[in-house]
Each structure stands twice: as C-alpha cells, then as structure tokens.
A and B are shown apart, each in its own frame.
Chain A
C-alpha cells in the first residue's frame, strides 16, 4: 500500500527545501550585476527553458534551482496522476486513507484521504503548478535570488494545497488552511506587482485571518460537541455530530461558513480578491484564484454540508441569495474594470457565485456541476491569467487602455486569449459550459427564479470577455505595440496544455463526472436526509478523555 497522498504532500515540500538550499549556495552578490548585463545582451529573445544561459554564478544557480523546482512539480503531477488512475470511481467514501496520531492528547491526527471531489481538485493543483512555473520562469530574474525563492514558495504552497484537500482531520485541515496564507502572503507582498502590493497582501492576510479565527472557534466547537477531529467519525447518520442540537449546529456551520465565504470569495466579503489579484504576479493569481479560493467552496461542500446537515436548511436561502447577487454583481463590475487582472478577478466573483449556488441548490446535477466548475474554472481562469501575464511581461502593464490591435502582431497570443475568454464565458464545447449548464439545470429544479437570474450572468459574461478582447486585441495596432512578440516556445507550453484540457473536458467531461459522482450522491441527499434517524449515534467523549 503506497501512501500516495503523503507522497504528494511531501514531494513538493522536500522540493521547496531543496530549491532553497540550491539557491542559497551561490556566489556573492557581485554576480547580480553580471547577470543583468547578460540579460541585456540576450535581450529575452533566446527564451527557451532548455537553453543554458551564458551567465555564471547566481544566474546559473537560480536556473538550476528553478529546474529542480520544475522537476519536483512534474514529479508531484506524476504521482497525483498515478493515484488518480488507481482511484475507484465506483466507491463512495474516502480512498487512499491514512490515519496516524499527531497530538494524541487533543485527539489530533495526521489523517488524509480523498473522495472524487478532493481528487479532481488535487489534480487541478498538480496540473497548474508546473504550468505556473513555466510561465513565471523569467519573471524575477532581476532579483537577487533569480526567482528561485518564488519557486520555492510555489512548492510550499503546493504541498499545502494538496494537504488541505486531502486532510480528513478537521484540525489538520485547519492547520493547512491557515498555513497556506504564509506562502501566498509572501508571493503577493514580496514578489508581487505594483506599489500597492504590500497593502494588498495585508488586506488578503487580514481577511483570511478573520475568517480563519472564526473557523478555529468552530473547529474547537466540533471537538467539544463531537469528541473527535476525524472527519470520517464525525459525519454520516451514525457519526459523532449526528445527534447535536440544531441551534449549536447552526452556529458551528456559520463559523465554518464565514471562513469559506471569505475564501471563496462571496459577495460582500470579496473585496480582497480584486486588490490581491491586481497586486499579484499572474502565476500567483492563477494559484490564488484557480486553486486556493476553491478551498472555500470545497470546504462548504465537505465541512459545512456534511458536518452539520441539520443546519443546512437554515442557510440554503440566504446563501442562494448571496450567490445570485455575486453572479450578477461580479459580472457587472467586471464590465467596468480597466485593469485586466482586476477584471478577471471580478469574473471569478461571478463564477464563484455559480459554484456556491450549485452547492446549496442541493440537487445532484447542481452539486456535480459545482464540483466540476471548481476544476474547470481553475483551467479557464488559469489560462486567462497566464495570457494576461504574457501581455504584462511584454509591456509591464495590465491596463486595457495600454493595448489594442495585438491580434495583428501576436496572433497566437490573441488566439490563446480568445479561447481562454470563450471558456470563461461558458461557450459549449469548452469545459466550463458543462459545469455551468449542470449548475443551471440543477438550480432550476430548486428555484427557477434563482436560475433565471443566474442566466443573466451568462449574457454579461459575453459582454465583459468580448469587450476586453475587442479593446486589447482588435482594431488598428498602435505604433508602440508594433514590435510586440508573439508567444515563444516556453509560453506555448505554459498555456497550451490548459487550452487542450479545456477542449478535452469540454467534449468529454464524463471521466471527471464519474469520479465526482459518488461523492455528490452523498452530499446531495443532505437537504432531504432525515437527520433524526441518528438517535442511536454514540458520542465517544467518555472514552477519549
């Protein structure tokens, strides 16, 4: 029995340490100047990853460190794919489980395991990380560490992302949930973009901490009420939480929900996201919006719904209302943005509205759609952020007004931009359509009004995407952009796989739906399940003390 999940968590963590060690073992800072000179000499034109740069010392060290980081991320991807191939789509419950005592005195375990939803999200993160590294390869070369520190942070983040999705101990989940903030804080605050990056990083940190601390209270509450942190022992009709008072369940649900709503981000606690996205490097934004925010929606499905089924009915309507507001509000604000990173961030607010709407509609189609949406949104928005990043790396600006007529000088870049955008607006044939459609179909059965308002988001999506495309890519090419370079080999490899995945999963999403299916069957019953049937459940409080 191979501990797949532990390997998937440990591998990037080890990688991060290795990268750090490699980038530290370098010659004095005098080489930095030399590196800058060689940078100027090569002029960015020789921009393939296989090419050995002429600079020695720091640059070569950083290059090696980055290659090691990339290698570790690929190895993680291989491990995760191998695990996914062994996943039994027929079984409900958790797979690849491992449970070890961590702090026995408080009942804290190192316990990991995945169901279909966690599996696809881990796959998503494993796919995105190497691509983000490729896209960010040249981003921090003028720094002392040549960007190796950034790559190490990405690996740290990856370990935590896998951990947060795989954790089946509520306390372990909380630890990963909070610990994720640390690498992201530095990725924005230290390696970010623009003057406002420190402020944006603090804003992100404060928002997340507020949510996290409220969740900590609820986590402790779960232990007090249920006597265990183990997810598998807490849930289900015979679980430790099955018999708890509904009022208590509502409060604990709320504790978790606030943290997840901030993370998700849901209207009206979303305002950290546009700032954070604007101040992020595109690679950071991909991981932040593509994977990290999914922890919020994943948490709603896994923790809010499954731990406190008796509280769900009290929350369904408020959450549905907030989701619908998020969809329309995010879309309308996206239309008015002048910064592409902010624009994409607002589109994500809108898309996350679809996801939460799908989760709380409590129908099988809607929840399957929502779970699939988490992955598809990661691919689509990831691709969009990467392409915007390519523009930024060329002109140093994310302002829409600084561009125009790019299609003429860089048709491949424009094409990638269009495909990613079309995926974002839910064009059939590309992956997000399937999830969006399933959400809508499922939500209609629950509330026609909510579904019809949500459809408005689909129309608005066409407006914000195509208008952005029109303003940046079409029209006459201004003189200052006439030398703009098209995608190079490295960039093609960074964004190409995402576009391919968007098309493949748009035409053949069934494998993912098969993986998600059993997990969703379990959670979709929650709204209707008879929770009073759990009277016979015994709490284990006595035995534990």
Chain B
C-alpha cells in the first residue's frame, strides 16, 4: 500500500512516496474498516453476539478515533503543504479510460471530519448502551450505528467522487435503517423511506455531476477534476456546481429537499444525535467545501449555494420556533444551523474555515442537546411534547447542566464554543462587502435571533417553569452511561471553539487543504465591531422574547390555535403539502395512466392480433362442412380449373 503525497488539487500528478514514509497513514483504511467490520460481525454473528455486541460496537469507533488522532499527529508533524496525502488502497473498477479506485485522501479537512465523526460518534455509542439497554434489537442497533459511522468515514476520506458516492449512499442506507429502526411503527417505516427517497433525488444530482465530470473533464478523482477546472467552460462548471448543490441539499436537508429531516425523528434519539451532529447532514457542507475549486469557478452556483443556505437557515429557525415536539424543534434548529454553514461555504475560501469550524462546534453542542433531549424523554416515558414538560431542572441536574451548556453555546453566548464560530461566519459574511454582504450578514443575524428565541423557548419549557407532567410520570436522572457522554460533549461545547479559533489554530491547519484564506480572529474586535454588537443585541432580544412568552406566563398544556404564521411554521411551512401536490399526486396519476396504457394499448394490441388470427381461422373453418362429397366436388372443380388453365396456356 503506497502512500502518495500531493498538494490537494494543485498538482495533477502527485509525487509518489513510499509506505515506509508513514506507517500510520498507510493504515488509514482501518478508520472505516473497523466500524464496518463491527457492523458485519454484529449482523452476521446473530444472537451469539447479543451479550457483547454493543461493547464491540462501541469499542471499534473508539479505536477508529484513536487511529484518527494518531493520523492527526502524523500530519501535524509535516510541513503545512505536505499534509495532503493520497493513500491508494485498491483498484475498484477500471474500464478503458475510466478508473475509480478505493483511494483515500488524508488531509486536514478529511481528518477534521474523521475526528469529529469518530469522537462524537463514539460518545453516542456509549450513550446508546444505556439508552437502548431495554430494547430487544440493541445488537442490530449497534450494527447500524457502526455502519453509519463507517459510511460517513468513507464519504469524507474518499479521494474521488465515486468512492465519495459510495459513502454518500451508505450514509443514506444507514439512516434508512436507523430512522426505521422501530419499523413496526408505520410512521417510522414511512419516515425512513421518505428520507431515503428524498436523498435519492439529491443523489441524482451527484450522479449526473459525475457523468459530466468524466465526459468533459475526463476523470472523477479530486485532484484530476480540480486540475481540469481552469480549462473548463463556465457552463460546465455551473452545471456541475448546481448538481453538486442538489446532492448537498438532499443530504443536508436544505431547501427544497428538507422535508425528510423532521420526520427522521421517528428513529431512536441517539440516531438523531448522530444524524444531526456528526454524520449525514454535515456531508453536504463537506461536499461544497471539498468541491471548492468547482464552486469558485462558477460564481452563479455559489450564489445559489448562498441563497439556499440563507433560505434554509431562516426556514429552519421559523419551524423550530413553532414546534412543540422537542426533537422536531431541535431538528428545525439543525436545518437552520446547517443552512448557516452552507451559506458560509458558499462564500468561497473566506467562509470555509468558519463553516467547518462551526460544523465541528455544532457537532458537539447539537449532539449534547439531542442526548439531553433523549435523557429527558427517557425520564418522561418517551413523551416528546414540551408543553407537558416543565420544571425538570431540579429532577435532572446533570441533564439540565449539560443541556444548558449546549444551549448557551448554540445561541452564541460570548466565549463559549458557538460564539467563536458563529462570530467568524458573521464576520465572513459581512466581509463579502457591498449590498450582498449586508443582506447576507443581516440574514445571519436574523438567524441568530431566531436561534436565541427557539432555544430559550425550549429550555424554558422543558427545565424551568412549573411542571406540567402527564399522569404517572416520575422524572429521574439518567444512568452514568448516558450522562458521561453528555458531560464530555458539554466540555467540548464550552471550550472547543476557543481552542480552535484562538491563535487561528484551525484556520492555519485547514488552509492548505482547502485553499481557505486565513483570517485572523480578533477577540477584541468581535466585541467592538458593529456586527459583533448586533449579534449580542439579538441574543438578548431572542432570550427576552422567549422569556416573555414562555417563562413569565405559564405555558398552556395544549397548543393554542395560533395565527397564520405560527400554523404555517408548525406545519413545516407546508413542505410536505408542496411535495405531495407537485410530485406525489402527479406521479400517482402517471402510474395509473401507464398501467391503463399497458393493459389497454400494448397488451391489447397483442391480444387483438391473436384474436384476429383466431377469428379468421374459425371463419375459414366454417367452409369445412364435413360432407366428404362436397369436398370431392370442390376437388373436381379444382381439377377442372387446373386442366382448363393448362389447356389455355398450352
């Protein structure tokens, strides 16, 4: 297994280094092979593995994390521009001029993702040991979790679009299995299918993009595609860019392919944490950043990315503000936050660092929030209606504390993780300059306002205020296997942002891989600049508004009727109705129409032919009277005619 070093996409012909050069990197394939093996063992091993399956399933992602950390240190030991290493594993399929290999690209971008996925993923595994303790399908659950982690790792480590697509679809499959884990609930099965189908629509974009790449640019590997970008026409780059965006929209639940995300809450809560924090939805952001050179060559596509991101950010915030289901509200929040990252990624190199940094800190606090929500649901007999929560802070102190830290981080309280990264996104947006910068920056500020509002609403309704519990509910703190991961994630939510942004650590690390620009993060400036102040003002406004509505007055146990806006928001801005009207019903009509055509036209034509033959033969059969003498007469006539003909001709 050779290890090839090259500078991400600038060099078309990577220089070949030997495996001895870096023993750790040549084992990079173990990163996804370990959890994949876990999934295989747990699924094929059957009930024999019931006893220790969940432990093995947890151990393997942890091992992957350790390996990812070792690889990180290996990379850190290299010079800045030698940190992009291509690791070929084996040739997948090659025909003529087309080649797709199982080749890995280890660079700061992919290893950042790998670390996030394995670390947060491992914590979610640990949490699931407690959360799923009573579930008869726990082994299967861990197998699917492992599959999810493995697929996501393939996605981020791939060195070409085809292998990325393998991971991409693998993530889709794993999410299908996990969202539909409680498949005996029809709603879960429907939600799983919906997620997979909408993702498939996005995949269509990725597939067509790959076709264009091979047909026009002549390759599908990152380095070759990006090397061919300068020579490609604007139209081609725009087409590829928009198609990749379509793919990203599917995976990252961006408009107009957002409808699956809220239904995906049908899965067990750890799944939601995994989908929303470490895997799946982050894939779209990764794709846009990874394919940066293409988007940078197609400004119109970038505008589309930014528009989609901004629209989703606001739509998600509005939906999150109106949902009473704690998980769905968090899901709306994810839409909103991912929209913010997509927006930043669409800005080009100035936004990459901010987008990825926010993605990582978001991974920590969103995972923490979801695990906290799971812990609350566990205490409330799986009830999800926040209107029947209230006053849980006293009963569940650890959950409250960790959830609280995540809350403070996501709304952007200064010096917590979320503040650093959100502040860099805001600064990057305003940095665009001109009207565009102003509009986008204001949109992000508005998004921050919404975030402050719906998150405060959630905390007030859940942990503070008076209890509105249903009969027979006795809240209690969750076991250690659940609280320990929550505490660890809370620590990350507290400090990770500062660690990444202080001294521009992350920016300098990421820059060579993505071509990102290193912007110095000036802490003092973040407090004094107009946008910094604006962010703090909306933070206070959002919290205050939520306090006025949900804490000062008691919360009604059933949702009020609401006005036009709140009803639209709680119905997810009619996304499902739009899908139904535009796609589903016409599709049903088409299916029925074609079935009729099949039966009445195509098959009928064949049967008509058969019937024609049958009718004509029975008509001719009528000439057969059964009288031998009449046959003889016919013969005689025939003979006479033949004789007459002969006589005339001769």
By a beta-carbon cutoff of 8 Å, the part of chain A in contact with chain B is: 206-207, 268, 271, 329, 332-333, 335-336, 363-365, 368-369, 405, 407-408, 415, 422, 427-429, 433-434, 437-438, 440-441, 444-445, 448, 451-452, 455-456, 458-459, 462-463, 466-467, 469-470, 473-477, 507-510, 513, 517, 520-521, 524
Hey, which chain B residues are within 8 Å of A422, CB to CB?
173
Contact with B594, one of A333, A368, A507 (Cβ below 8 angstroms) = A333
Is A459 a contact of B204 with CB atoms below 8 Å?
Answer: yes
**Which residues from B are CB-within-8-Å of A508?**
90, 92
Query: Which of B169, B188, B197 is within 8 Å of A427, CB to CB?
Result: B169
Q: Which residues of A contact B193 (CB under 8 A)?
A: 466-467, 469-470
Which of the residues B162, B186, B200, B212 comes within 8 Å of A462, measured between beta carbons? B200
Of residues 43 through 58 on chain B, the ones whose CB sits less than 8 Å from some CB of chain A are 43
A369 touches B95 (CB 8 A): yes
Would you call B215 and A455 a contact (CB within 8 A)?
Answer: no
With contacts A427-B173, A474-B180 taken as known, whether A271 is within 8 angstroms of B603 at the C-beta atoms is yes
List of B residues within 8 angstroms of A441 by Cβ: 98, 210-211, 214-215
Given the interface pairs A206-B610, A336-B594, A364-B96, the reply to whether A475 lies near B186 with Cβ below 8 Å is: yes
A-B pairs with beta carbons under 8 Å apart, 19 shown: A333-B594, A333-B598, A336-B594, A368-B95, A369-B95, A444-B208, A444-B211, A445-B215, A448-B211, A452-B208, A466-B176, A466-B193, A466-B196, A469-B193, A470-B193, A474-B183, A474-B188, A476-B186, A521-B96
What separation, in Å, do the CA atoms of A508 and B166 have in the docked complex?
A: 13
Asked if residues B95 and A513 are in contact (CB atoms below 8 Å), the reply is yes
A509 B594 Cβ-Cβ under 8 A? no
Contact between B595 and A333 (Cβ–Cβ < 8 Å)? yes
- Asked if B481 CB lies within 8 Å of chain A CBs, one says no
In the complex with contacts A428-B165, A470-B190, A336-B91 CB distance below 8 A: no
What CA separation (Å) do A468 and B300 show in the bound complex? 40
Bound-state CA distance A328–B514 (Å) is: 40
B606 at the A/B interface (Cβ < 8 Å)?
A: yes
Complex-state Cα separation, A408 to B136, whole angstroms: 11
Which residues does chain A contribute within 8 Å of B165, judged by CB atoms? Answer: 428
Q: Which listed residue, B214, B587, B602, touches A268 by the CB 8 Å rule?
A: B602
Residues of A near B627 (CB, < 8 A) are none
Contacts of B196 in A (CB 8 A): 462, 466
Q: Taking the nearest CB of chain B, how far is it from the CB of A475, in angstroms?
A: 5
Q: Which residues of A contact B96 (CB under 8 A)?
A: 363-365, 368, 521, 524
Q: How far is the CA of A227 from the CA of B183 in the complex (A)?
A: 64
Tell me the nearest residue of chain B to A363, going by C-beta: B96
**A26→B512 CA distance, assembly (Å):** 80
Tell me the chain B residues, 88-116 only, with Cβ under 8 Å from chain A: 90-98
Contact B184 A405 (CB under 8 A): yes
Known: A368-B95, A474-B186, A510-B93. A336 touches B166 (CB 8 A): no
| Size bracket of the B interface | 35 or more
Whether a CB of chain A sits under 8 angstroms from the CB of B201 is yes
Q: Are A458 and B180 in contact (CB under 8 A)?
A: no
Which chain A residues lie closer than 8 Å to B185 at the CB level? 475
Tell me which residues across on chain B come within 8 A of A368, comparing CB atoms: 95-96
Q: Indicate whether B207 reaches chain A with its CB closer than 8 angstroms.
A: yes
B91 to chain A minimum Cβ distance, whole angstroms, is 6
* Docked complex Cα distance between A451 and B209 (Å): 12
Q: A444 near B197 (CB under 8 angstroms)?
A: no
CB proximity of B115 to chain A, nearest CB, Å: 24
From known contacts A405-B184, A513-B95, infer whether A448 and B591 are also in contact, taking CB-CB under 8 Å.
Answer: no
> Which residue of the partner chain, among A365, A408, A456, A470, contacts B98 with CB atoms under 8 Å?
A365
Q: Tell me the smallest distance from the CB of B153 to a CB of chain A, in Å.
A: 14
B204 touches A455 (CB 8 A): yes
Q: How far is the CA of A318 from the CA of B291 in the complex (A)?
A: 38
Tell whether, in the assembled complex, residue B95 and residue A365 are in contact, meaning their CB atoms are under 8 Å apart. yes
Verify A428–B190 contact, CB threshold 8 A: no
Evaluate contact between A407 and B93: CB separation under 8 angstroms.
no
Indicate whether B170 reaches chain A with its CB closer than 8 angstroms: yes
B residues near A475, Cβ cutoff 8 Å: 183-186, 189
* Residues on the A chain within 8 Å of B606, using CB: 207, 271
CA distance A363 to B204 in the complex (A): 22
Contact A437 B184 (CB under 8 A): no
A357 to chain B, nearest CB (A): 13
**Considering the chains assembled together, what is the distance between the CA atoms of A189 and B180 in angstroms?**
41
Report B597 CB to chain A, min CB distance, Å. 9
Give the residues from 599 to 640 in chain B that come closer than 8 angstroms, CB to CB, to chain A: 602-603, 606, 610
Given contact pairs A336-B594, A451-B211, A458-B200, A437 touches B92 in the complex (Cβ within 8 A): no
Further 11 A-B residue pairs, CB within 8 A, beyond A408-B183, A429-B170? A336-B592, A336-B594, A428-B166, A428-B170, A440-B211, A441-B210, A467-B193, A476-B184, A510-B93, A521-B96, A524-B96
Question: Are A473 and B98 CB-contacts (below 8 A) given A336-B594, A510-B93?
Answer: no
CB of B53, distance to nearest CB on chain A (Å): 15
In the complex, B559 has a CB within 8 A of chain A = no
Q: Which of B91, B183, B207 contacts A458 (CB under 8 A)?
A: B207
Chain A nearest CB from B251 CB (Å) reads: 14
| Min CB gap B197→A, angstroms | 6
Q: A438–B169 Cα gap in the complex (Å)?
A: 17
Interface string of B497-527 (1 = CB under 8 A from A): 0000000000000000000000000000000
The residue from B43, B162, B189, B215 contacting A444, defined by CB atoms under 8 A apart: B215
The yes or no answer to B590 lying at the interface (CB within 8 A) is yes
CB distance from B426 to the nearest CB of A (A): 38
Considering only CB atoms, which chain B residue lies closest to A426 in the complex? B169
Residues 156-198 of B, flagged 1 when their CB comes within 8 A of A and 0 if not, give 0000001001101110010010001001111011100100110
Determine the chain B residues whose CB is within 8 A of the CB of A434 once the complex forms.
92-93
Q: Are B169 and A429 in contact (CB under 8 A)?
A: yes
Bound-state CA distance A158–B610 (Å) is 31
Contact A517 B200 (CB under 8 A): no
CB B622 to nearest CB in A, in angstroms, measures: 24
| CB atoms of A459 and B201 under 8 A apart | yes
| Closest chain B CB from A196 CB (angstroms) | 13
Nearest-CB distance from B38 to chain A (Å)? 16
Cα of A329 to Cα of B166 in the assembled complex, Å: 27
Quick one: closest A residue to B592, CB to CB? A336
- With both beta carbons as reference points, the residue of chain A lying nearest to B212 in the complex is identified as A444
Q: Which of B183, B201, B210, B214 is A473 in contact with, Cβ under 8 Å? A: B183
Closest chain-B Cβ to A115's Cβ sits at a distance in Å of 16
Report yes or no: A448 in contact with B170, Cβ–Cβ below 8 A. no
Q: Is the CB of A332 within 8 A of B211?
A: no
Contacts of A445 in B (CB 8 A): 214-215
Distance A434 CA – B93 CA, assembled complex (angstroms): 8
CB distance from B13 to the nearest CB of A (A): 23
B588 to chain A, nearest CB (A): 9
Residues on B with beta carbons closer than 8 Å to the beta carbon of A452 = 208
Measured between alpha carbons, how far is A517 from B98 in the docked complex, in Å?
12
**In the bound complex, CA of A466 to CA of B177 (Å):** 11
Are B211 and A408 in touch, CB under 8 angstroms? no
Chain A residues contacting B602 (CB-CB under 8 Å) are 268, 271
| Proximity string of chain B (199-243) to chain A, C-beta cutoff 8 Å, 1 when within and 0 when not | 011011001101110110000000000000000000000000000
Are A517 and B95 touching (Cβ within 8 A)?
Answer: yes
In the complex, what residue of chain B is closest to A329 when comparing beta carbons? Answer: B594
Which residues on B sit within 8 Å (CB–CB) of A207?
Answer: 606
Going nearest first, the 4 A-B pairs with the smallest beta carbon separation are A474-B189, A364-B96, A444-B211, A474-B183
- Nearest-Cβ distance from residue B606 to partner chain A, whole angstroms: 6
- Tell me the bound Cα distance from A463 to B208 in angstroms: 19
Are A408 and B184 neighbours in the complex by a CB distance under 8 Å?
A: yes
Q: What residues of chain B lie closer than 8 Å to A474, measured between beta carbons?
A: 180, 183-184, 186, 188-189
Cross-chain contact A407 with B183 (CB below 8 angstroms): yes
A458 / chain B contacts, CB cutoff of 8 Å: 200, 203-204, 207
In the docked arrangement, what's the CA distance between A513 and B602, Å?
A: 37
Which A-chain residue is minimally distant from B165 (CB atoms)?
Answer: A428
Q: Whose C-beta in chain B lies nearest to the C-beta of A469?
A: B193
- Complex contacts, A473 vs chain B, CB 8 Å: 183
B450, chain A: closest CB distance, angstroms: 33
Tell me which residues across on chain A come within 8 A of B207, comparing CB atoms.
437, 440, 455, 458
